[in-house]
Amino acid sequence: MRHFGHIPATARSGLFHREPCEFTADSPARVLGAALGATLYSPATRPRLADDVMKQVGRGVVSMVLCLEDSIDDGEVAEAEENLVRHFADLHERDGEPPLLFIRVRRAEQMADLVRRLGPSARLLSGFVLPKFTEERGGPFMEALTVAENICERRLFAMPVLESPELLHLETRYETLAGIGRIVDKYRDRVLALRLGVTDFCSAYGLRRSPEMTAYDVHIVAGVIADVVNVLGRSDGTGFTITGPVWEYFRLQERIFKPQLRRSPFMEQRADELRTALIEHDLDGLLREIELDRANGLLGKTCIHPSHVLPVHALSVVSHEEFSDAEDILRPERGGGGVLRSAYTNKMNEVKPHRAWAERTLRRAEVFGVAKEDVGFVELLAAGLVK
């Protein structure tokens, strides 16, 4: 699989200076963690689950979470587990490669039980999403992951969700973060990414952001994101991939504020209809939040609707200018540091302070590709909307 692999090769070659790399579920964790992109969540109770999964491949989805936790009623768990086992078997018999598949469990003991019941179809499973992750809950979850790996005899990853009240509340936040840091560091080779449960953060205070506001406009949430990145997202080799919070909206609602999506990039590409469609579906706020995610050190995003996938991926592609700066900074002859003018002659690149940014940018370029010099996110959005 690869990002933008759902569009024709000729169209891809017209968009990319360097195309996204191919990867599989067996690729190195470094690649998979960066490549998650828009991770689409689906309740495990869906009656046509296998069909739904394969349909999303045609829309550019490369990672999905099949949820046994908050997205289903407490009384539906047994039925949802049976549905999962049945549809994994269905997928196992089909031609075509599904996306990276993860199961969001409620309890640690579900993991080994599900792997046993999946049987041969467990080869399609990439790992588990672990809710309300803290040091106390995380230990049993990670031990259970090891048991599940031994049963199915394949590598499985964990994606802990950071969403507990202890993490939100100021008086317990720092010790909670330190504890999470200890447990994920112990199992570093099995932690693919850390996910942020911003809906639970808001719930603790009876809040819900509107489609015209990003998570960063809710200051109590923005503060938690900043602290999580501060402790667990460092670029010194101790950090982890941290993914962006879910965007909850996908239907037209009455707007209070002016649209946030500038008209000029769309007019230049004669794509005003695309701009209108994005605004009507409240995706202008999503685009702004994706940009803020990246500015704050997050990569990828939790998604609950297929319409969110392409915007996340289009804005994850590295621009030609970013790529040029990153390559200049990382040239071997720049090892001693110094300052140089960018090839675009619009900024100064400081070799030592910008090195970590450049390394992160080239990791993103590997999995999402580098756009051609005259290609922006509007062209990527339009090209990705294949029929």
SS3 328: helix
Unique residue bearing structure tokens 């029929």: 387
Q: What is the largest CA-CA distance in the chain?
A: 62
Phi–psi pair at 164, nearest 5 degrees: -80, 150
Distance from C-alpha of 384 to C-alpha of 109, rounded to nearest angstrom: 40
Whether 90 has a binding-site annotation, put simply, is no
Unique residue bearing structure tokens 């588990």: 128
Strand partners, 370: 18, 318
Whether 200 has a binding-site annotation, put simply, is yes
Here the tokens at position 280 are: 């009507």
Distance from C-alpha of 64 to C-alpha of 44, rounded to nearest angstrom: 11
Cβ 302 vs Cβ 243: under 8 Å = yes
Distance from C-alpha of 91 to C-alpha of 358, rounded to nearest angstrom: 39
CA atoms within 13 Å, Cβ hemisphere of 384 = 27
Query: Which amino acid appears at position 375 of this protein?
Result: V
Other beta carbons within 10 Å of 297: 19
Here the tokens at position 286 are: 């999503």
Strand partners, 212: none
Q: CB burial class (10 A; 0-12, 13-18, 19+) of residue 237? A: exposed
Distance from C-alpha of 173 to C-alpha of 231, rounded to nearest angstrom: 11
Give the residue numbers of the binding site: 171, 200
**Annotated binding residues for Mg(2+):** 171, 200
